[in-house]
Structure 1
Amino acid sequence: MAEKKTGAAKHSADYRDRKKAEAQRFGIETLAVEMAAGTRAGMTGAMKAHGYTQLQELLQNLHRSFLAASPEEQARRLQQHDAPAFRISPKLARQFEKASRAELKRDPGCEIEVPKPLPHGEQQCNAAQLDILE
């Protein structure tokens, strides 16, 4: 046996039905989006900086901006940036130098030879460069 709805329940059901019909008429879809906490915090900061009070409004404006852009601009915006170039720290450089010197001691004969002077008397490298090669 079905329970009889109260006036408030009928009003709520009617309201939901009207909203659903309105959404269908305007072609509005509900989309659940999972977002990382850091991204959400960044979006909140952008909302405050640009005067938005609702995330939905900001996202709709971003969507319209993206769709209005040329295909080339859309492709540029969608490019995934590579990780920053590998950086060799001074500590890593010292470790490499130490390991290289140890390897040269284990296997003599593959050392870098100091360049010979050029025929016209100029040096190929300066003293600082020679220190590196020793």
Structure 2
Amino acid sequence: MADKKTGAAKHSADYRDRKKAEAERLGIETLPVESAAGTSAELAKAMKAHGYTQLQELLQDLHRAFIAVDHRKQARRLKKPDAPAFKISPKLARRFEAASRAELRCEPGDAS
């Protein structure tokens, strides 16, 4: 025996169907996103600082801004910086090499 839907269930099903049809008509798709735990707290701060009340609005504005720039600027924005951006200067390299040689002279048996 098939269960008959109540008036509320019919209304809910109709509402979901209307929302789905509207999304299809407008070309709206849902993108599930996973992010690191600290990201949401930082996004909340940025939203408050820049007057956003909904995350979706912020993300759509970021998407539009990214798409609006030319390919070179997109590539530059996507380039991830080195973790600490630590660079060894020539002076530091010379000091390290001198210290290494001095240590090897003190304990020559450790050299490979």
- Which TM-score tier does this pair reach, normalised by the shorter chain? 0.7 to 0.9
When the two chains are superposed, the root-mean-square deviation of aligned CA atoms in Å is 2.3
Aligned residue pairs: how many?
Answer: 101
1:102–1:70 distance in 2 versus 1, CA, 3 Å = closer
Structure 2 counterpart of 1:74: 74
Larger Rg: 1
Structure 2 counterpart of 1:31: 31
After the TM superposition, list the runs of 4 or more consecutive aligned residues in structure 1 that deviate by more than 2 angstroms: 99-102
Q: Which has the higher helix share?
A: 2
Structure 2 counterpart of 1:116: none
Structure 1 counterpart of 2:6: 6
Q: In structure 2, give the amino acid aligned to 1:7.
A: G
Partners of 1:62 and 1:106 in 2: how far apart? 59
The answer to which structure, 1 or 2, has the higher relative contact order (CA under 8 A, 6+ apart) is 1
Structure 1 counterpart of 2:105: 104
Q: CA deviation at 1:101?
A: 3.5
TM-score with structure 1 length normalisation?
Answer: 0.67
SS in 1 for 2:86: coil
TM-score with structure 2 length normalisation?
Answer: 0.79
Structure 2 counterpart of 1:112: none
**Unaligned ranges ≥5, structure 2:** 89-94
Provide Cα deviations, 1:100-126, integer angstroms capped at 9, x if missing partner: 53421234xxxxxxxxxxxxxxxxxxx
SS in 2 for 1:29: coil
Q: CA deviation at 1:86?
A: 4.8
Partners of 2:65 and 2:47 in 1: how far apart? 16
Q: CA deviation at 1:70?
A: 1.1
Identity of matched residues, %? 63
Partners of 1:42 and 1:22 in 2: how far apart? 33
SS in 2 for 1:46: helix
